[in-house]
Each structure stands twice: as C-alpha cells, then as structure tokens.
Amino acid sequence: MDLTILRMTFILLTTAATNHFRPFHLPQFYAVLFGVLLGLMGVLFEMRLRRSSLKRLIGAVVGSLVGILCAYLIALVLSGTNIEPRSQSFLQVALLLILTYLGMVIGAKKGDLLNLQAMGGLFGAERSAPRDIKVLDTSVIIDGRIADICEAGFLDGTLLAPQFMLRELQQIADSADSLKRNRGRRGLDILQRIQKMPHVDTQIVEDDFPHVPDVDMKLIELAKRYQAKIVTNDFNLNKVAQLQKVQVLNINLLANALKPIVLPGEAMRVFILKEGKEHSQGVAYLDDGTMVVVDNARRMISRTINITVTSVLQTTAGKMIFGRYDAESGGSERERGRYSNQSMAANGPTRPQGGGRPGQQRPQGRYRSVD
C-alpha cells in the first residue's frame, strides 16, 4: 500500500513539473499528458528493476557510465569540427542515447559474471540464487557428444568457452596433421552448433591466466573464479580438478551410466568379430561399443552365437563384459541340424513356415557390430 502511494505521488510530481515548466513550449493539456506518460514510464522502469539482481544493476550502472563518458569524449571531438550547430547537436544527443543504451544492456548482461561475495563488505551480503555455470573443455568439444546432450535439454545454465581454449582449438584446426586438423575443425563446428541453440546460453569469456602455462590448470582456475563446473572427458583433468575441489561433469561417466545393465548368468547373442588376446578367446562388441570377451569362441569368428555372461568389469575407461561360449551346446545344435537334414532327405522336401518354395531356407539375421 505504501509503495502504491509513493508511485502515485511520483506521477503527480512529474505531471506538476511538466505543467509548470512547459517543456518544448507545449500547451497545458499536452504538457500534463506528457508528465503522466513520463511518470508511468518511470514506474514501469522501477518495477522492472526490482526483479533484477544486484549484479545486473551494478553492471548496468557501470556500463551506462562508460557509455556516457564515451559520448562526452566524442562530443568534444565533434565540437571542433565544421558541422553546423543543429546537426552537431543532433549527433551529440544521438550518440549519448545510443552509447548509454548499449553500455547499460551490455553491462547488465555481463554483470551476471560478477562475484560479489569475493568483494566482501556490503556486496558480500548478496545471496542471489546460484547460477549453474559450466566451463567447456577442448576434449569435450572435439568429442561432439556435448552438442547432442545440450540439444536433448540435459544441460542448462550458462556454458563458458574461454578464449584460451578457443586458441588451442584453432591451433589444432591449423595443424599440418590431417587427423588433428579434422578434429579441430569438427570442434569448431560443434561449438558453433551449440551457440545456435536458443535454449543454451553460450558465452565466450576473455579471462586468462598468464602465469599459468597449462591449459588444464587455466580451466580449473577459471572454474574457481566463477564457481563453475568443468565439462570434460579427459581422465587426467578429471582427477586434477577433483584434487582442486572443483566439480567435474564427465561425459564418459554419463555414457557408461546409460549403458544397459548386464548381470552374470544372463544369456546374450553376439557377433564374434575378431580373436582375443588369450587362447580360444573371441571378441564381440555391443551396439553401444561395449567390448565383450568370450571364452571358447575363437573358432566362431564371423558368426553370431549365444553366450552366457560370466562377469562384468567396470573400469574408468568403460565397461567390459566377459562371457563363455558353451561348445557342447553348439555341438548339440549341429547334431540337431544334421538329423533334420537326414529326415528331410528321407521324407522329401517340406514347405517352410511362412510360404516359399520347398527346401528354401530363410536367411538368418546377423547383428551388426560396432567397432
């Protein structure tokens, strides 16, 4: 109630002021109308500012002051030219409005990155809602899966791409090695794809740490400055960041968590792709890239067989499944096949289920392997 009275008083004061001074030689009616509109604009602006954080307000004030200072300096330069006074006045007012507006908008946008608690004193009491800021690593951008995760909506908040990381990415893209060059260009394309997503706030920050030579350590220092998390799939950076008490989002750990759970004793059907390191071992891969090591399956290369899971090994690099191929079960299947062929030769050809010519066998499907 008190705030409403204060707002009405402000509108009445602006109306009385415009009625008394008659700006631009306006008639009394238009002067009063101009005062009411001016008061309403002030009230609406005040209502909008009340919902802004202290960081945005400080950024907007600093940005507007910088814009006014730039406009004043340019006006001094224009006053020494031969431009006619009316055009000169127009340019000065236009530059003042434009630069003040740009400074206010840009300052409010960048004000969210301020760390007021580090300043202490009056600003240290600011307890705004914590923003979820994440720092992108070079490895996770080159990997490319981060774009699909962002597109699916599993990453929110602000994604920071530091300038020193972009320089490293550009150096990889300019490498003489064709493989590194393609990886660097892929990383730039992935970052551009993330920037075009409307629901993802991606910012390029200029913060650098000249006294820190290593890029990984710079990422950790940047994450500490903004109280952010590091998004990476680099194993070493993950360990070092955890030692520095910096939270890490590892894409590889997320991918491993989304893989299907396999328990010992379950039956699986896999395609043996190649031989293993040990004697009589065969190696297969699931559709998600998980390696399956199968005992007694070396002679079954390029075949799809049924195996029994014996154990599952979870490592930092991923998951490995160990299984066993029952040779006796495979032999009994061949015996049943041989008996059915002898029976068909003795009794004549039979029509297979589902139609087709007599003696025609349906081709069996085969799982495609993912290497």
Task: Note the pLDDT of residue 333.
Answer: 45
Q: Where are the domains of the chain?
A: 2-118, 133-257, 267-329
**Distance (Å) of CA 234 to CA 20, 40, 81, 167, 343:** 70, 55, 59, 18, 60
Q: Is CATH 2.40.50 the right assignment for the domain spanning 267-329?
A: yes
CB 293 within 8 A of CB 320: yes
pLDDT, residue 365, reads: 40
Output the pLDDT for position 116.
63
User: H/E/C letters for each residue in the chain?
Assistant: CHHHHHHHHHHHHHHHHHHHHCHHHCCHHHHHHHHHHHHHHHHHHHHHHHCCCHHHHHHHHHHHHHHHHHHHHHHHHHHCCCCCHHHHHHHHHHHHHHHHHHHHHHHHHHHHHCCHHHCCCCHHHCCCCCCCEEEECHHHHHHCHHHHHHHCCCCCCEEEEEHHHHHHHHHHHCCCCHHHHHHHHHHHHHHHHHHCCCCCEEEEECCCCCCCCCHHHHHHHHHHHHCCEEEECCHHHHHHHHHCCCCEEEHHHHHHHCCCCCCCCCEEEEEEEEECCCCCEEEEECCCCCEEEEECCHHHCCCEEEEEEEEEEEECCEEEEEEECCHHHHHHHHHHHHHHHHHHHHHCCCCCCCCCCCCCCCCCCCCCCCC
Buried b (16+ CB within 10 A) or exposed e, 267-279: ebebbbbeebeee
Bridge partners (DSSP) of residue 324 are 295, 308
133-257 and 267-329 in the same fold: no
How far is 100 from 72, CA to CA, in rounded Å? Answer: 11
For the chain of 371 residues, list the mean pLDDT of each consecutive stretch of 10.
Answer: 81 89 87 90 83 80 92 90 87 90 87 65 48 87 90 87 89 89 91 89 85 88 89 89 90 79 87 88 86 90 91 77 77 43 44 41 40 40
How many Å apart are CA 119 and CA 116, to the nearest integer?
5
CATH fold of 133-257 reads Rossmann fold (3.40.50)
Which residue's entry shows tokens 């067989």?
305
What's the whole-model pTM score?
0.48
